[in-house]
Structure 1
Amino acid sequence: MGIYKPKTYMVMISNVEPSTIHEAMTIPSWNQAVNDELQALIQNHTWDLVPVPTNRSLVGCKWLFKIKKNSDGCVARNKVRLVAQGFFQAARLDYHATFSPVVKANTVHQILTLVVSRKWKLQQVDVNNAFLNGDLA
């Protein structure tokens, strides 16, 4: 009769944000989100395993967990990020020794310009992983 209703699939998503990686790994939906983030980091060649230079100190990292919700308030997905703990750095000692590349505003601007110039339909832009491989030329 001309009525179209898309099929929806139920995915078990936790309503609790874990506070540690150990807690997250015991919950299947958070475990999957952590594995997805790790795979993205590996595929983007975000880091290399190297010995620590004697004149450098390490910057630790921490897993952050966030429940993303749709506009109607229902849970959309579990978001996981691995972030550097830059507050361990000391000014004039090791402050400029490490960095973390993130998406640049002009990269997003160029993408949106492409969308408009080619008259593409855009519903949402989501940067899944903040570590990008370089400049968009």
Structure 2
Amino acid sequence: MCDDMPALKANDTCEIIPRPKHTNVVGFKWVLRTKYLSDGFIDRLKARLVAQGFTQILGLDYLVTFSRVVKASTLSIVQSLATLNKWPLHQLDVKNAFLNVLKLFI
């Protein structure tokens, strides 16, 4: 959490604004997880900011949904193309990969 919030502000992907009247505002919560090594020692602590989308109503609050997780079929096609064309593959981890501005209401 200490890394995520400053990164959201630094990347200009978080904006705190007054809550509009007569609107349904989707809440959020932090999901915390401890990752362990095989010997039982703590490897790292992870935190994820999750929207509570169960409060939305289809057609009223939203028309489409969005997930920032890659589909397995897309990954399989990219790997197949790379193998067929002998392209090099590289793996990376993107921290704070927000494509849209997250609006936090006060």
Which of the five TM-score ranges fits, normalised by the shorter chain?
Answer: 0.5 to 0.7
**TM-score, normalised relative to structure 1:** 0.48
- Greater relative contact order (Cα 8 A, min sep 6): structure 1 or 2? 2
SS in 2 for 1:45: coil
Equivalent residues in 2 for 1:1-137, closer than 5 Å: 34-54=1-21, 56-96=23-63, 102-104=68-70, 117=87, 125-132=92-99
**TM-score, normalised relative to structure 2:** 0.59
Q: In 2 relative to 1, CA 128–72 (structure 1 residues): closer, same or farther, beyond 3 Å?
A: farther
Q: Which has the higher strand share?
A: 2
Instruction: Look up the equivalent residue of 1:76 and give its one-letter code.
Output: D
Q: In 2 relative to 1, CA 68–130 (structure 1 residues): closer, same or farther, beyond 3 Å?
A: farther
Provide structure 1 residue ranges, at least 5 long, that are not aligned to the other structure: 1-33
Bigger radius of gyration among the two: 1
Provide structure 2 residue ranges, at least 5 long, that are not aligned to the other structure: 101-106
Query: How far apart are the structure 1 equivalents of 2:13 and 2:48?
Result: 13
SS in 2 for 1:49: strand
Q: In 2 relative to 1, CA 53–119 (structure 1 residues): closer, same or farther, beyond 3 Å?
A: closer
Query: How far apart are the structure 2 equivalents of 1:65 and 1:59?
Result: 20
Query: How far apart are the structure 1 equivalents of 2:45 and 2:28?
Result: 19
CA RMSD of aligned residues (A): 3.3
Instruction: Look up the equivalent residue of 1:62 and give its one-letter code.
Output: K
Query: How far apart are the structure 1 equivalents of 2:34 and 2:89?
Result: 33
SS in 2 for 1:128: coil
Query: How far apart are the structure 2 equivalents of 1:38 and 1:132?
Result: 15
Q: In 2 relative to 1, CA 132–94 (structure 1 residues): closer, same or farther, beyond 3 Å?
A: closer
Q: In 2 relative to 1, CA 119–60 (structure 1 residues): closer, same or farther, beyond 3 Å?
A: closer
